[in-house]
A = this chain, B = another copy of it.
């Protein structure tokens, strides 16, 4: 085991797209662990659109990452030392340990994961936050019903890919929006969505007419911007718009674009509701259990895009904002 720990720290608050000088790549000694603390060798770090928001100053659902602090990230890894009776060396755990090779945490802030049930990186994806985000967002906020038409943007992404699959499990129609023919083929052929619309295609506005001819009952929004307005233009009576993210707007240096068609909420007695997965922390167990059951039955497919090397973190993170990922994007931290 190394005695040193490489880490990515936030050096400056980005303006627009994060650039190299917004990061500091540091090396320091392994941390000591105190009472009830556990030291974890990190295997994989989760890269998520929400990380962009955590880098900004200001009031949000969790405090921003401080300047000089190790960048916050979800991780999975192996326990290497423990002062807690609940964990022993060799256990696999998930927790918010950040972009570094080793991290420590209080035992209460770690969750054991089962490497026999699924590859451990799955606990950053389908059986982790993205899975729970799709699960509670679609079922609780979106209140999906059999026969609904569910439209989801970012359909080839970590959350969107699960939203459509869960919609199908619940007897709804699933229509995805994704960037490019390869992603759309994946969404329909591998994930089983009823249709997928390529927003980069010149015929996008034409293409959506047929799959959405019955209107939209649930729109699960991961992207914001123009696509949110296009969805609002096609909502049915009592539609539910689930605001999960707005990745098209996160690197804006101008004000965020508001949905001009929000007035359709009035016309159709519809609602737009936002959430973050942390709102459901007391129900995570319920969610993971059902997701794991569907996964075990072969009804839910997870895809993980693994990029390697902690030193590549700044460049790999940007793939999210360039639409260069399919499925859950993770960074492999441990060296082979």
Chain A residues in contact with chain B, CB under 8 A? 59-61, 224, 229, 243-246, 249, 255-276, 279
A229, A245, A263, A279: which has the most chain B beta carbons within 10 Å?
A263
- Contact A276/B272 with A257-B258, A263-B256 known, Cβ cut-off 8 Å: no
Chain B positions within 8 Å of A271 at CB level: 271-274
The 6 A-B pairs with the shortest beta carbon distances in the complex, nearest first, are A258-B258, A266-B274, A265-B274, A271-B273, A258-B260, A258-B259
Do the beta carbons of B276 and A273 come within 8 Å of each other? Answer: no
Q: In the complex, A257→B257 CA distance in Å?
A: 9
Chain B positions within 8 Å of A263 at CB level: 224, 243, 246, 249, 256, 274
- For this complex, 18 residue pairs linking A to B, each with C-beta atoms less than 8 Å apart, are A59-B267, A61-B266, A229-B258, A243-B263, A246-B263, A255-B260, A257-B258, A258-B261, A259-B262, A265-B274, A266-B275, A266-B276, A269-B274, A269-B276, A269-B279, A270-B274, A271-B273, A272-B273
Q: In the complex, A249→B255 CA distance in Å?
A: 19
Q: In the complex, A260→B224 CA distance in Å?
A: 11
Chain B positions within 8 Å of A256 at CB level: 260-261, 263
- Contact A258/B262 with A271-B271, A271-B272, A272-B272 known, Cβ cut-off 8 Å: yes
User: Copy number in this complex?
Assistant: 2
Do the beta carbons of A244 and B266 come within 8 Å of each other? Answer: yes
Do the beta carbons of B272 and A267 come within 8 Å of each other? Answer: no
Do the beta carbons of B258 and A243 come within 8 Å of each other? Answer: no
- Contact A266/B279 with A259-B259, A260-B258, A261-B258 known, Cβ cut-off 8 Å: no
Q: In the complex, A255→B61 CA distance in Å?
A: 32
Chain B positions within 8 Å of A229 at CB level: 258
- Candidates B61, B268, B273, B275; contact of A274 at CB < 8 Å: B268
Q: In the complex, A269→B140 CA distance in Å?
A: 12
- Candidates B60, B270, B272; contact of A265 at CB < 8 Å: B272
Q: How far is the CB of A311 from chain B (nearest CB, A)?
A: 32
- Candidates B59, B245, B262, B276; contact of A262 at CB < 8 Å: B262
Q: In the complex, A256→B243 CA distance in Å?
A: 20
Q: In the complex, A249→B265 CA distance in Å?
A: 15
Chain B positions within 8 Å of A265 at CB level: 243, 272-274
Chain B positions within 8 Å of A272 at CB level: 262, 265, 271-273
